[in-house]
A and B are shown apart, each in its own frame.
Chain A
Amino acid sequence: MNTQTTAIEVLGITKSYGDHVVLRGLDLTVPAGTVYALLGPNGAGKTTMIRILSTLIGADGGAARVAGFDVRTQPDGVRRSIGVTGQFSAIDELLTGRENLRLMADLAHLPAREAAARVDELLARFDLVDAADRRAATYSGGMKRRLDLAMTLVSRPRLIFLDEPTAGLDPRSRRDLWQIVRELLDEGVTIFLTTQYLEEADQLAHTVGLLDGGRLVAEGTPAELKAQAGGETLDDVFLALTGHGVTPESDDELEEIR
């Protein structure tokens, strides 16, 4: 497999918790340097998919290669290549923003001088300079999410997983985050994100996978999907394919952004 062109390759991944089947044989491919959005309602299996691809949990069946490494047999190769920002903030609240970033730099084994420079650069880029020496516990939701993403970027991963990156964020923070995703894309980073927000997938993704009940019910560019289902929006597509919407309330929130 050529890691230059394919960032993620998933073949027939299955996962159950006891009797509860979460993923029922998922196939997908993400070309390097693109944004793939896994769109689906709560409980569709989005987070489980990210946890499998980021080596946090094992799949029951099927295979997945991430950045050319098998998630089952070469987890350390995967871990060296990826960055993960989960749904819940993965920051150390007792440490300051600067200390959190420095912790990541030290764990990435950056030399001291380079580490300090990288930390300053990220603090500036994520608008955290003023809050750098305050404990992260005092940060607002948007600041915590920015710090979280900055921590993910310390080691300059070429492939980033974002699990519902804008869930619970106010409209302005959401737009800021979209902007950051676009900048990362310009730098050639591959992004795999999950979302319940149709507009988010529409705005950011090259390829959208519609996940429902542990199955990929459709996959394509936003335009292809709309043409395929004869709908104007991804919501129409989702409704046409599954008989139900993603999350009606999420679109009310998006109205505020528009």
Chain B
Amino acid sequence: MSTMTYAARDSYTMLRRSLKHMRRYPSLTLMLIGQPVIFLLLFVYVFGGTMGAGLPGGGGRADYLAYVAPAILVMTIASVALSTAIYVAKDATEGIVDRFRTMPIARPALLTGHVLGALAQTVLAVTVVLAIAVLLGYRPDAGVAGWAGAIGILALLSLALTWLCVALGLAAQSVETASNTPLFLMILPFVSSAFVPTDSMPTGLAWVAENQPFTPVIDTLRACLAGRDPGSDAWWAIGWCVLVTVLCFWWAGRLFGRVRAV
């Protein structure tokens, strides 16, 4: 077999390991799904009436549900990515990773296994959250192209945030640090177009919100699910996701191969 087939085979072996871990830890997966569901309920039923009225052109709770549902899907992806940082850090603190490093395993296989496992978890979590949003009355208006675009952007975002969290998990010296450093991923969407239109913010903050990566991603997803053309937002969203993925893939690889102190 060639180097590439070994790399693929080792990645598959590591993916199966990750999936087994997830099955043995169902509480973590439940928490990952539960958290965005609570956000969804909170934003629709507690804030939704008031927030809906503040949307451009006014509206009600149902309009706000349509506005916020894509944002909650993005939060779901961030939430799964966060757990990956913890998982990677926990793995690295246990001896098994050192064992892998003394074996002739394709180098990126372990990390790829983590990332593919997180993608599988993301598919599950996003499906459940979307189904609950639909139960609450959310009706996406997307055609085939819209759904393809929505799935594509969710996949790209998941890849970017997961590689970022893999790197943060490896960079952290402890599991506690790894559970804290990626928390900004849960805060950043609040300073974006996720929950309120950016032009309702003070000028300075609005500028930040309009120019940070989550805004084009959320706007693209929102447009795709509403059956609208996302326009240039899509290119910004794709660009940000690819940039973060490439940088973090490289960074994670360096951290993994790094000579570590005893």
Residues in A lying within 8 Å of B, measured CB to CB: 17, 47-48, 51, 54-58, 76, 79-80, 82, 84, 86, 88-95, 99, 103, 106-109, 135, 151-152, 155
Contacts and interface: CB of A to CB of B under 8 A. Distances in A.
A47 B262 contact: yes
A3 B24 CA distance: 44
Most buried by A among B20, B103, B104: B103
B35 interface: no
Contacts of B104: 76, 79-80
A17 B1 contact: no
B139 interface: no
Interface residues of B, number: 25
Contacts of B98: 56, 84, 86, 90
Interface of B: 1, 6, 9-10, 13, 17, 20-21, 24-25, 94-96, 98-105, 259-262
A94 B262 contact: no
Contacts of B103: 79, 107-108, 155
Contacts of A92: 17, 94, 96
B24 A54 contact: no
A155 B95 CA distance: 18
B105 A107 contact: yes
Contacts, number: 65
Contacts of B95: 86, 88-91
23 contacts: A17-B261, A47-B262, A51-B262, A55-B102, A56-B98, A56-B101, A57-B259, A57-B260, A58-B259, A79-B104, A86-B95, A90-B95, A91-B95, A94-B20, A94-B25, A99-B20, A103-B13, A103-B17, A107-B100, A107-B105, A108-B103, A109-B1, A152-B99
A17 to B, nearest CB: 6
Contact of B13 (A54, A55, A88, A107): A107
Contacts of A84: 98-99, 102
Nearest to B91: A92
B262 A57 contact: yes
B30 to A, nearest CB: 17
B102 A95 contact: no
Contacts of A135: 24
Nearest to B6: A109
B262 A95 contact: no
A162 to B, nearest CB: 13
Contacts of B6: 109
B105 A48 contact: no
A54 B17 contact: no
B9 A95 contact: no
Contacts of B20: 94-95, 99
A31 B39 CA distance: 65
A150 to B, nearest CB: 12
